[in-house]
Structure 1
Amino acid sequence: MKKIKMAVIGLGKMGLHMIHQAKNEQHVDVVAVCDSNEQSLADYVASNPETSTYTDYRRLLDEHEIDLVYVAVPPKYHYGVVMEVLQRGIHIFCEKPLANSVEEAEAMLAAAEQSGVLHAIHFSMPHEPAVLQMQKLVQEGSTLGTIRKIELIFRFPQWPRAWQQNPWISTRDQGGFILEVGIHWIHVIQTVFGGLNVINSQVQYPDHSNGCETEIHAEMQLQDGTRVEMNGISHFAGEERVSMVVYGTEGTIALENWDQLMTGRIGESLTPVTVDESLSELPVLKHVIARVQDKPGTIYDFRDGLEAQRILEALRSK
């Protein structure tokens, strides 16, 4: 089978992570990479001399025959890069969030659909075994009964976290925990429970002009009227917590700190659920490759990215 020629634009944490995954795929060759930081390129080519390197992604796209591009630049630059890729009719796999505004996301979706290429966004949580097992419990209904309320809880003693240092992660326009973390859970809710609307949102920002949020309290609603609350805070003494709790008429399901699935009947304590790791559908790149090869695969596309973007912008603007 012909190998897929893949290019990676952006050599930050996610770009390097995706290259590592691609090297484990026998039908993929990473033939070119691009980053504006020449030192990052030099570091990469030192151990990957066979890969072409660029500081200008347009030159990369013009000079190489590429089948698939993975976009891992900061969110502010997604629109420009993605539109150039789509104009050339190349399959695209983009990091989340899709864009820096709803208007950009709408234009990107329209261009992707017009181009006729595969367009995928890197939403990984619905592929996680704990989320898949939670979804199964929700669909069965016996643990929860009728859903009363969903609560999203984000607690970050430090933001950005120690391992998460870059020039944009703490900026108001493209960083912050709502964009970086909240989008994962918004998409999980949209995938597992259906459509979501923002009723009201209160966001607190620091005094300096471009700092990201330090608190959020938001009220949302599923299409059937079920309440969804988001409560988040950063910069405090305590432990990090990133969790979703689903309250039902018969019991509760909690996904604590990303992947610790717990359940309990009304009046009882929550107890851990052993997650079947064989349910895992990761990495997402496998599904993207399968779809490029016209094989079955589960991807989330730019329409999913747009729907999540709508909620992100509503949370930050109300």
Structure 2
Amino acid sequence: MKRFGMAVIGLGVVGRRMLEQASASAGLSVVSAWDQSPAVRSAAAADFPGLPMAASAADAIERLDVDVVYVAVPPLAHAELVRRAVAAGKAIFCEKPLGVDVAESEALVAEVEASGLPQAVNFPFASSAAVDALRRTIADPAFGLCAIEVRVRFHEWPRAWQAGATWLSRADQGGFTREVLSHFVWLVHRLRGGFELRGAAAAWPPRPAGASETAVAVALDCAGVPATVSGIVGGAAPDRIEARFVGARDERVLSDWYRLEILDAESPAGRPHPGLPADPRTAAYQRQLEQLHALLSGAPHTLPSFAEALAVQRGVEAILTPRGRDQ
């Protein structure tokens, strides 16, 4: 198997996760890394001995042994780094959301597609065994998919393990709609072949100024199947992340990202879907790297394209700019 070299730009939570997962990959190795924060670079170097730290983002991207650039920085910096990778002739694997400004992302997608370089955006559901099982189920006419319901709730935002990513608390590029609900907008887009926004409402706290949203409620038409998407921050209840796919006689519930349950007359409280990995999180991340290797090899793969990510971004930004919000 050919081994491809990766540059990891951004060494926060998701960048470090990539370092961990790539260390177990047979087809990818991290050959350069960089973060704009000296403290973050020092911490990563200490925690990952031998990590080849570059002097700048340009140095990390332009190394001859780099085949693909993983862009793991906050959204407002995506476009600049993606364009650097394109200029260097490197494949791109970009974190979601693709961006915040839709017009800028439209121009970026056009440039990336015109380059002919391999490109993908990181929506991990694309590599999930649970989502594969869900896709097969709802594609069966006997299931009779009639509605989709997505609900998320957070005790606090950002979550405690995201405390260092202060940008997540700001409306200009953060918030749980872009960070979490975008995954489910992508999911219904992939499973149903698209969606139309039928209505949206969002709320922001009066202070501090520029803080991200605290509640959203959304109605979608997913190729004839109605869907509701809602989220809220606050309260003492445990965090909740789930999507329900309602059939004629039973349901499938996707929760905690990688868990799929069957709800029916036999198991109204739910039972695990059979045949899924014992460690679904690790399995999904390793499969993602296998799909990235396939992309780089010119083979079929399941990773989302920049064009798919743009469709999701259009929907997400429309949710966050509902009629009546002060601009």
Report the TM-score, using the length of structure 2 for normalisation. Answer: 0.88
1:129 and 1:276 in contact (8 A); partners too: no
Looking at structure 1, the residues matched to 24 and 229 of structure 2 have their Cα atoms a distance apart, in angstroms, of 37
C-alpha distance in 2, partners of 1:63/1:124? 27
Alpha-carbon distance between aligned partners in 2 of 1:196 and 1:168, rounded to the nearest angstrom: 28
> C-alpha separation between the residues in 1 aligned to 2:265 and 2:126?
27
One-letter amino acid of the counterpart of residue 134, structure 1: L
Looking at structure 2, the residues matched to 40 and 316 of structure 1 have their Cα atoms a distance apart, in angstroms, of 31
Please say if residues 6 and 32 of structure 1, whose CA atoms lie closer than 8 Å, have aligned partners that are also in contact.
Answer: yes
Q: Residues 16 and 302 (structure 1 numbering): CA distance in 2 closer, same or farther, change over 3 Å? A: same
The DSSP-based 3-state class of the residue aligned with 1:169 is helix
Aligned to 2:325: none
Are the counterparts in 2 of residues 129 and 275 from structure 1 also a CA contact under 8 Å? no
- The percentage of aligned residue pairs carrying the same residue is 29
Task: Name 2:109's counterpart in structure 1.
Answer: 109
* Superposition map of 1:154-173 within 5 A: 154-165=152-163, 166-173=165-172
Gap regions ≥5 residues in structure 1:
none
Say whether the 8 Å CA contact 2:155–2:234 is kept in structure 1. yes
Within a 5 Å distance, the mapping from 1:140-151 to structure 2 comes to 140-142=140-142, 144-145=143-144, 147-151=145-149
Distance in 1, matches of 2:318 and 2:235, equals: 26
Distance of 1:183 and 1:58 partners within structure 2: 29
Deviation at residue 164 of structure 1 after TM alignment: 1.4
Structure 1 runs of 4+ with >6 Å offset = none
Q: Is the 8 A contact 2:153 2:233 kept in 1?
A: yes
Cα contact 2:33–2:51 (8 A) shared by 1: no
Q: 2:57 is aligned with what amino acid?
A: Y
1:316 paired residue among 310, 317, 320: 320
**Which residues in structure 2 correspond to 1:1-318 (within 5 Å)?**
3-46=3-46, 47-49=48-50, 51-54=52-55, 56-62=56-62, 64-142=64-142, 144-145=143-144, 147-165=145-163, 166-208=165-207, 209-224=209-224, 226-265=225-264, 269-278=268-277, 282-283=285-286, 284-318=288-322
Give the conservation status (yes or no) of the 8 Å contact 1:122–1:300: yes
Stretches of structure 2 lacking an aligned partner (at least 5 in a row): 323-327
Contact 1:6 1:67 in 2 (8 A): yes
The amino acid across from 2:132 in the alignment is L
* Displacement after TM superposition at 1:299 (Å): 1.7
Cα distance 1:136–1:270, how it changes in 2: closer, same or farther (>3 A)? farther
Q: Which amino acid aligns with 1:295?
A: A
Distance 1:290 1:2 in 2: 10
How far the C-alpha of 1:19 sits from its partner, in A, is 1.6
Question: Number of residues paired by the alignment?
Answer: 314
SS of the residue 1:39 aligns to: helix
More off after superposition, 207-216 vs 244-253: 244-253
Q: More deviation in 59-68 or 95-104?
A: 59-68
